[in-house]
């Protein structure tokens, strides 16, 4: 059994940047694709109100409780493809955010879409936690998503770097102090 140098190794020094999963931050959303079906007051309510995550929450979607979002007219739009992050509003004014296992088509109007870089933070929320939205335009959404993807790529590269064998990794950590071998 041979002891190796337990000093700090270069590949172990320094912080590893990780994604921000702070659930207290505002969730960024882009209006549409059917925001024209909503009263102007509904869009203002959506962007200015605090919603809560309801108990109706699974991998398909996250239903929110809070102020109702009023539609201009009856629900008469045809079913169409939907994407993860779409915020559908049912006839009773309740918003539901579609998540990873969402259906492929939907017929409810979609007031907004959560940007892809905020989905990971959004799904960290649990029942009765607050969620607030901030409306941004598509250019801002692209910038935020590109920044997130760049940081995510650096994070994945950093954690995928080989840190040596199990013995090397254990020996590089100061697991116990004051041990002497003769």
The CATH number of whichever domain residue 35 belongs to comes to: 2.40.100.10
**Are the beta carbons of 93 and 111 closer than 8 angstroms?**
no
Reported residue count of the chain is 182
Buried b (16+ CB within 10 A) or exposed e, 104-129: eebebbbbbbbbbbbeebbbebeeee
Tell me, yes or no, whether 85 lies in a domain: yes
**Are the beta carbons of 34 and 69 closer than 8 angstroms?**
no
Residue 85 has φ and ψ, to the nearest 5°, of 100, -15
- pTM as predicted: 0.79
Tell me, yes or no, whether 37 lies in a domain: yes
Element (H, E) at 145: helix 138-160
Query: Which among 116, 146, 128 is positioned nearest to 54, based on CA atoms?
Result: 128
Tell me, yes or no, whether 120 lies in a domain: yes
Tell me, yes or no, whether 113 lies in a domain: yes
Query: Which among 119, 132, 120, 116 is positioned nearest to 26, based on CA atoms?
Result: 132
pLDDT in tens, the chain (182 residues): 565 555 555 555 556 666 667 767 899 999 989 999 999 999 999 999 999 999 999 999 999 999 999 998 767 788 999 999 999 999 899 999 999 999 999 989 999 999 999 999 999 999 999 999 999 999 999 999 999 999 888 888 877 777 677 777 677 766 666 556 65
3-state secondary structure of 181: coil
Tell me, yes or no, whether 50 lies in a domain: yes
Residue 132: domain span: 27-137
Tell me, yes or no, whether 15 lies in a domain: no
Max Cα separation, the chain? 85
> Checking DSSP bridges between strand 95-98 and strand 130-135, what pairing results, if any?
unpaired
Write down the pLDDT at residue 158: 76
Tell me, yes or no, whether 164 lies in a domain: no
Element (H, E) at 148: helix 138-160
Number of compact structural domains in the chain: 1
């Amino acid at each position: 059994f041979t002891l190796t140098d337990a000093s700090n190794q270069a590949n172990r020094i320094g912080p590893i940047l990780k994604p921000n999963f702070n659930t207290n931050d505002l969730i960024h959303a882009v209006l549409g694709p059917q925001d024209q079906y909503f009263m102007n007051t509904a869009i203002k309510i959506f962007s200015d109100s605090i919603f809560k995550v309801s108990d109706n929450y699974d991998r398909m979607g996250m239903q929110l409780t809070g102020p109702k979002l009023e539609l201009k007219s009856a629900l008469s739009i045809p079913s169409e493809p939907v994407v993860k992050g779409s915020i559908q509003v049912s006839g009773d004014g309740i918003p539901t955010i579609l998540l990873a296992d969402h259906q492929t088509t939907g017929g409810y109007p979609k007031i907004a879409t959560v940007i892809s870089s905020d989905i990971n933070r959004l799904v960290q929320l649990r029942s009765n936690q607050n969620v607030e939205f901030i409306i941004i335009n598509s250019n801002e959404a692209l910038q935020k998503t590109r920044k997130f993807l760049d940081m995510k790529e650096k994070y994945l590269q950093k954690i995928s770097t080989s840190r040596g064998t199990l013995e090397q990794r254990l020996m590089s950590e100061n697991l116990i102090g004051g041990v002497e071998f003769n």
